[in-house]
Chains A and B, each alone.
Chain A
Amino acid sequence: MSLYSYLLISIIIFTIGVYGIITQRSGIKILMCIELLLNSANLNLVAFSSYNGNATGQVFAIFSIAIAAAEAAIGFAILVALFRLKDTINLDNINILRW
């Protein structure tokens, strides 16, 4: 596959992620969409790395994955705590800071 196809797939994944973040109301779904964004970016990194014959991008992608794991762990922990407190993870109902 050419670089172009990788980028196309990456764009498709990214767009799905953005769409999900904007439209979804469930906290878990939004977190999953954020993961999609991150991974589309990772895909880009790896694709360019292989295209240029340079390992830097792949190393970067590994970093990114590690950090994404940490982020997901914290995000889900927050959601679990929120669910215990409010019995919901629907973001529309979590608006105590709102006017």
Chain B
Amino acid sequence: MFSEYAALIVLLPVIAFVFTLFLGKKLYSGGALLPIAAIAGSFIISLGIFLEIYPADGMVQQSFPWFAGMNLGILIDPLAVVMLMMVSFVSLLIHIYAVGYMSHDPARPRYFAETSLFTAAMLSVVLSDNILQFFVSWELVGLCSFLLIGFWYHKPSAAAAAKKAFLVTRVGDVLFLAGIVLLYVNMKLLVDNGTLVVESQSYILQFKTMFEAIKLIDGTQLTYITLLFFGGAIGKSGQFPLHGWLPDAMEGPTTVSALIHAATMVTAGVYLVARTFPMFVATPSTISAGVPDALLIVTYVGGFTAIFAATMGLVMNDIKRVLAYSTVSQLGYMMLALGTAGTVLGAKAVGISMFHLLSHAFFKALLFLCAGSVIHAVGTNDIREMGGLFKKMKITGTTMLIAALALAGIGFPFESLGMPIMNIGTAGFFSKDAIIEGALEYGEVTHDMIPYSFAIIAALLTSIYIFRLWFMTFTGKPRSERHSHESPGVMTGPLMILAIFALLFGFSQLGFYGYLEKNFELMDVNIAVHEGEAFHPSAFLILLPVIVGVLGFLISYAIYNKRMINMSKIVSSGNPLYKLLYNRYYEPKIGADLIGVKLTHDVVARSGEFVDRKIIDGLIIDNIISNTLLKLGEIIRKLQTGVVQNYASVTILGIVLLLILLKLKFGGT
């Protein structure tokens, strides 16, 4: 019964957007209740659809013709339905939290309208049944991200960050669009020569049809298409080298960071790769034997980003920037999972990656909301000015500790070690362990241990930076004279709900994998799984992720709580490594100074100016062209006499001529 109302999942927040934007000022609390009600409706419908299709392994498919052989449609398969529930649920909690967080902001109607539109667009990305609609919604979330990063547009840094986010993700979006065009050209060719038959009620860019065409498209072309898609994912998910916009995006309100730049929008890139996963798997392996080219690149980009971003997270002093780098790093993990597990486990990789995506959404949204609660109370982003907050903010402190434990992947794998107790741990423990295990298995099969070492080192760094953040914020003595207080119930409520998820979500692991594994079977796509001999790592390797997690905790405890090591020597501008990390590998400098000023302005624009001024105007024709044109203009302007009678005469002359011509042509009286 819910399936029939699937379109409402997107439409309800759109309606809320319109009403909040225009009437928000007159409504209670800036119109926050409308989006909350609408998104709650979306969540209930998503949940209802899940309960309907889960027992029967069904899907919801609806489609309407749009234009020129394209369609608008809804496809809710296992992959989409878990994502739908997560997006609407997290968005709902964050909207409730925002009622408290934004209570002092005069522009609340605009805020709630834009987040509502964002939610609609994101839900539309998730349930698209064709790549074109996916792209349109994808651009719409990008627009909302731009608007919300620049929400406080009167701050120059926020305006600049919004611009940067928009431009940098645009690079990825152009690649994505190019991929769609290339795919369309290839498929159109196949349709025209009759190899590919598009049935009635089917459309050329539907995922269904795309997957049917995989076998028919030339392998090299398929690699190009998937890599262009991945380019889009790199831009949206902040992967190296397009990662720079995400930390800057922290200029927006913290709730926006939690919703868009942690839980939902940035994961759209991962979702895109998961969605078109059969295409990635089907690419030929030319670089490394047995590894599809596209997956190899996904693996390395993801793995490198995971470790690269984590190093910068170590030195940031802005509480939100640490979390932003953490997000980039965790997204790298999800990509790594798709690449490595995709090679060795086939379709199961989607389950592994999506599981981390969901558990990450819960604990990272929680981390951001806790950070928001701290910022709301203290009034600064700088963790050097915090400290000792745990006594005053018990709920925030506890929930943030839970989220940190989840991010660090703390738990204990009893069952994997052969003990008769189930594995116990936080959500991040289950999801991250599976990724690291997948990378290990990849290493065993292909004898390439680099992705595995990326994953392990990044896990250690993750644990260090997140506990550094927690210890510096909540323990020790207050380092500044700031008044702080616990946040109101409307803010701590969502924190506690998310904390429950961050703690317990992991236990749904096996059911989750089983459910998502069926996803591509339902779409009639078979992904070859390389079933090697059963894989049994040694106890040490099973424990290693937990060991590095605990190790990171201890390191941070020693340094930032007990102050056993004096950091002032290491953390100084004299240390080149610290300088490199603190300046974010000079990425903003490279972007602005090298590419922006040196390359674009000094080289391209200056040489253009030289050609124009000195060669075109100066040497060759010495202003002949412009002078001639000017003189010609002088003559022609005289035609416009400005005397109405002249115009009237010409008009009448024209009519008379026309009549004469008609007479000559048709004769008669």
Contacts and interface: CB of A to CB of B under 8 A. Distances in A.
Interface stretch (A44-52, A73-81, A91-99): A91-99
Contact of A22 (B637, B638, B642, B652): B652
B643 interface: yes
Interface string A17-61: 010011110000010000000000000000000000000000000
Contacts of A30: 645
- Assign chain B's interface to a size class: 10 to 19
Contacts of B645: 21-24, 30, 91
Contact of A99 (B638, B649, B652): B638
B642 A99 contact: yes
Contact of B637 (A18, A24, A95, A99): A99
A95 B226 CA distance: 66
B151 to A, nearest CB: 47
B644 interface: yes
Contacts of A22: 645, 648-649, 652
Given A18-B652, A22-B652, A99-B637, A91 B644 contact: yes
> Which label, helix, strand, loop or mixed, suits the secondary structure of the A interface?
helix
Nearest to A92: B643
> Which label, helix, strand, loop or mixed, suits the secondary structure of the B interface?
helix
Interface string B617-640: 000000000000000000001101
Nearest to B645: A22
Contacts of B637: 99
A97 B642 contact: yes
- Assign chain A's interface to a size class: 10 to 19
A25 to B, nearest CB: 8
A98 B652 contact: no
A30 B644 CA distance: 11
Contact of A98 (B642, B648, B649): B642
Contact of A95 (B638, B643, B648, B652): B643
Nearest to B644: A91
B193 interface: no
Contact of A21 (B638, B642, B648): B648
A99 B637 CA distance: 8
Contacts of B648: 21-22
B480 interface: no
Nearest to B642: A98
A35 to B, nearest CB: 15
A99 B643 contact: no
Nearest 7 interchain pairs by C-beta? A98-B642, A22-B649, A22-B645, A99-B637, A21-B648, A95-B642, A97-B642
Interface of A: 18, 21-24, 30, 91-92, 95, 97-99
Given A22-B645, A98-B642, A99-B637, 15 more contacts: A18-B652, A21-B645, A21-B648, A22-B648, A23-B645, A24-B645, A30-B645, A91-B644, A95-B642, A95-B643, A97-B642, A98-B643, A99-B638, A99-B640, A99-B642
24 contacts: A18-B652, A21-B645, A21-B648, A22-B645, A22-B648, A22-B649, A22-B652, A23-B645, A24-B645, A30-B645, A91-B643, A91-B644, A91-B645, A92-B643, A95-B642, A95-B643, A97-B642, A98-B641, A98-B642, A98-B643, A99-B637, A99-B638, A99-B640, A99-B642
